Chain A
Amino acid sequence: MTRSGQGAELHGRALLAGEAGGSALVLEAPLSLWGGMDPRSGRISDHHHPQLGATMTGRIVVMPSGRGSSSSSSVLAEAIRLGTAPLAILLAEPDEILVIGALVAEYLYGRTCPILVLPQDAGGAIATGDQVAVAADGSVTVG
């Protein structure tokens, strides 16, 4: 990680490459999109999640992992179709179920939701509300 002025650049690994830019939403706990996100509203609907009710639409969502159900691929694809999905998803650990969902949506609808794995030392580098830019090579610029 290199810092320059207020900004920081992280070198992530693109599981599904693409470009995106927007305001970060940092999830405090893992979230299964199935049973955890309503694709119609884009909101977190998991009653066990500390950020129940938060809107993921149009945000760069930073999350530890996509814990839980194998139906999360469908929920992400449906959210991408409806335009309620995050702009990009930045993970601490790879999550193949999310990548497959985003890949299917890209194939069917030509819309990309980039999914990256952040480097291990990136914890805390992004806070909710930070402006974040994701590049196709996996680099992430904060601030």
Chain B
Amino acid sequence: MRLSRCDRAMLAGADGPAGQLAMRMIVKLAELAGAPELIGIASAHIDGCLYHGQAGLDFAERLVEGGAAVRVPTTLNVSSLDLLHPDRYRGDPETARAARRLMDAYVAMGCRETWTCAPYQLPGRPGFGEQVAWAESNAVVFVNSVLGARSARYGDFIDICAAITGRVPNAGLHRTERRRGQVVFDLRAVPDRLLGEDVLYPLLGHVVGAESGSLVPVVDGLPPAVGEDRLKAVGAAAASSGEVALIHVVGSTPEAPTLSEALQRREAVKVVTVTPARLRAARDELTTAGPGRGRLAGVNLGTPHFSVAEFGALVALLAGRRVHPQVECYVNTSRHVLARIEERGWLATLEAAGVRLVVDTCTYVTPILRDTGGVVMTSSAKWAWYAPGNLGVQVAFASLRECVDSAVEGRVVRDDALWSGR
């Protein structure tokens, strides 16, 4: 492997012990990936700031002690705490203190206090073709697919090493040939009435993740110019049910103006026909609550973090109604989006309706829910996928409209009409 003079100096300890450790990790990753060289990055997004235990804190504090500072603009993913609403946290104080120390360590290294899993909703996002190092699986899919920037699937620890060194292996999705679409998901069997529904998109993502394996998927047959929130939903679901890091959507994402271009003018390895029955099965796979459904305990929205447009849809669907007193209704979002909806007057509207906002973190990664004994509904495939394991709740996946109607009525309301017929 070729290393630049700067790379070699850092490896020899010229930037101090933290730079040396970070470069060692990047070189090890390059060896694993068989990369011929390292390349520079324009920005980084860090997932390691969410507290999973002492090991993550030990590593971050070791870096800080070793003089670590990020070399590129670096955003931070969700943490375990909502610093703007500290009383939302219901875990033990010792874990909260450790989680706060972890946050402080990443800020001390020069990262921006963004605390969001949707950094692509912030101003100044990466441009087409830019090399970046992003962690958090949904953010990786979005930056690759929707923005056309280039990131491998980075994880905890290596993300901050990339930010400290400003370097990553020239491998995987950083390289044009590795971005070639391989498995085509053909949607011609799905009727237009379903393609027009927001709820189709997380379900489609769930199917794409489950059936792509390690291949790069191409979705063909959606209407042109699918909006960013729908693409976000596809990506987040696919990166939960599978290991997907790039999805080409023909007519919507920048490397897929046509199917042929998405495939880099080669043959598809495999074609999967997506049927309404398969999408309905995805809805069942994302629902652990039994047929009787049980008592509705909560509704959780905004995984990944809710956008301004999604808040607009929520306010419209509530239409002045209030959340039922026995239902906890949470929406996860970023500080940045919170400020935007406050300007629009929506924050006051939502709070008056009994909706509780959570920022800096997410209700499926930290103890916030008071009531985990009943059914929790969500319009997020990612929340539905992980919450049963993380929180021990029973989930029911549903559309945003179904979630809002359920929150208001205080019982699980699902409209099966959309799924009847073909």
Residue of B nearest to A80 (CB): B55
Chain A contacts of B137 at CB under 8 A? 68-70
Which residue of B33, B53, B140, B242 contacts A39 across the interface (Cβ within 8 Å)?
Answer: B53
Query: How far is B53's CA from A80's CA once the two chains are assembled, in angstroms?
Result: 11
Query: Does B153 sit at the interface, judged by CB under 8 A?
Result: yes
Question: A47–B389 contact, CB under 8 A?
Answer: yes
Q: Kindly specify which of B84-92, B154-162, B323-331 makes contact with the partner chain.
A: B154-162
Question: B156–A103 contact, CB under 8 A?
Answer: no
Query: Does A3 sit at the interface, judged by CB under 8 A?
Result: no
- With A68-B243, A69-B137, A71-B50 known to touch, is A100 a contact of B155 (CB < 8 Å)? yes
Query: How far is B243's CA from A68's CA once the two chains are assembled, in angstroms?
Result: 5
Residue of B nearest to A96 (CB): B32
Q: Kindly specify which of B56-64, B182-190, B216-224, B253-261 makes contact with the partner chain.
A: B56-64
Label chain B's interface by main secondary structure. Answer: helix
Query: Does B402 sit at the interface, judged by CB under 8 A?
Result: no
Jot down 23 A-B pairs with beta carbons below 8 A, ordered by A: A35-B385, A35-B386, A39-B52, A68-B243, A69-B240, A70-B47, A70-B135, A71-B155, A74-B50, A74-B56, A78-B54, A78-B55, A78-B56, A80-B55, A81-B54, A81-B58, A97-B158, A99-B28, A100-B155, A101-B157, A104-B55, A108-B55, A108-B58
Query: Does B404 sit at the interface, judged by CB under 8 A?
Result: no
| Residues 51-75 of chain A, each 1 if its beta carbon lies under 8 Å from chain B, else 0 | 0000000000000010111111111
Question: A67–B243 contact, CB under 8 A?
Answer: yes
| Residues 146-174 of chain B, each 1 if its beta carbon lies under 8 Å from chain A, else 0 | 00000001111111000000000000000
Question: A70–B32 contact, CB under 8 A?
Answer: no
Which residue of A74, A103, A109 contacts B25 across the interface (Cβ within 8 Å)?
Answer: A103
B405 → chain A closest CB, angstroms: 26
| Residues 87-120 of chain A, each 1 if its beta carbon lies under 8 Å from chain B, else 0 | 0000001101101110111011100000000000
A93 → chain B closest CB, angstroms: 7
Question: B21–A107 contact, CB under 8 A?
Answer: yes
> Interface residues of B toward A: which range?
35 or more
- With A73-B155, A103-B28 known to touch, is A47 a contact of B53 (CB < 8 Å)? no
Residue of A nearest to B390 (CB): A35
Chain B contacts of A105 at CB under 8 A? 55
Question: A47–B55 contact, CB under 8 A?
Answer: no
Which residue of B47, B52, B136 contacts A78 across the interface (Cβ within 8 Å)?
Answer: B52
Residue of B nearest to A69 (CB): B137
Chain A contacts of B47 at CB under 8 A? 70-71
- With A15-B32, A77-B55, A78-B56 known to touch, is A36 a contact of B157 (CB < 8 Å)? no
Query: Does A9 sit at the interface, judged by CB under 8 A?
Result: no
Chain B contacts of A93 at CB under 8 A? 214
- With A81-B55, A94-B32 known to touch, is A70 a contact of B390 (CB < 8 Å)? no
| With A71-B155, A80-B55, A100-B158 already in contact, 12 other A-B pairs whose C-beta atoms are closer than 8 Å | A35-B385, A35-B386, A47-B388, A47-B389, A68-B242, A70-B153, A73-B155, A73-B156, A74-B157, A81-B54, A97-B158, A101-B157
Q: What is the interface of chain B, defined by CB distance below 8 A to chain A?
A: 21, 25, 28-29, 32-33, 47-48, 50, 52-56, 58-59, 62, 135-137, 140, 153-159, 214, 239-240, 242-243, 285, 288, 385-386, 388-390
Chain B contacts of A82 at CB under 8 A? 53
> Interface residues of A toward B: which range?
35 or more
Chain B contacts of A104 at CB under 8 A? 25, 55, 59, 157
Chain A contacts of B386 at CB under 8 A? 35
Question: A97–B55 contact, CB under 8 A?
Answer: no
Query: How far is B340's CA from A60's CA once the two chains are assembled, in angstroms?
Result: 51
Residue of A nearest to B62 (CB): A108
Chain B contacts of A70 at CB under 8 A? 47, 135-137, 140, 153-156, 159
Query: How far is B50's CA from A109's CA once the two chains are assembled, in angstroms?
Result: 21
Chain B contacts of A107 at CB under 8 A? 21
Query: How far is B240's CA from A93's CA once the two chains are assembled, in angstroms?
Result: 19
Query: How far is B29's CA from A87's CA once the two chains are assembled, in angstroms?
Result: 22
Query: How far is B21's CA from A71's CA once the two chains are assembled, in angstroms?
Result: 20
Residue of A36, A39, A107 most packed against chain B (CB within 10 A) = A107
Which residue of A36, A75, A100 contacts B52 across the interface (Cβ within 8 Å)?
Answer: A75
B151 → chain A closest CB, angstroms: 11
- With A74-B52, A108-B59 known to touch, is A97 a contact of B155 (CB < 8 Å)? yes
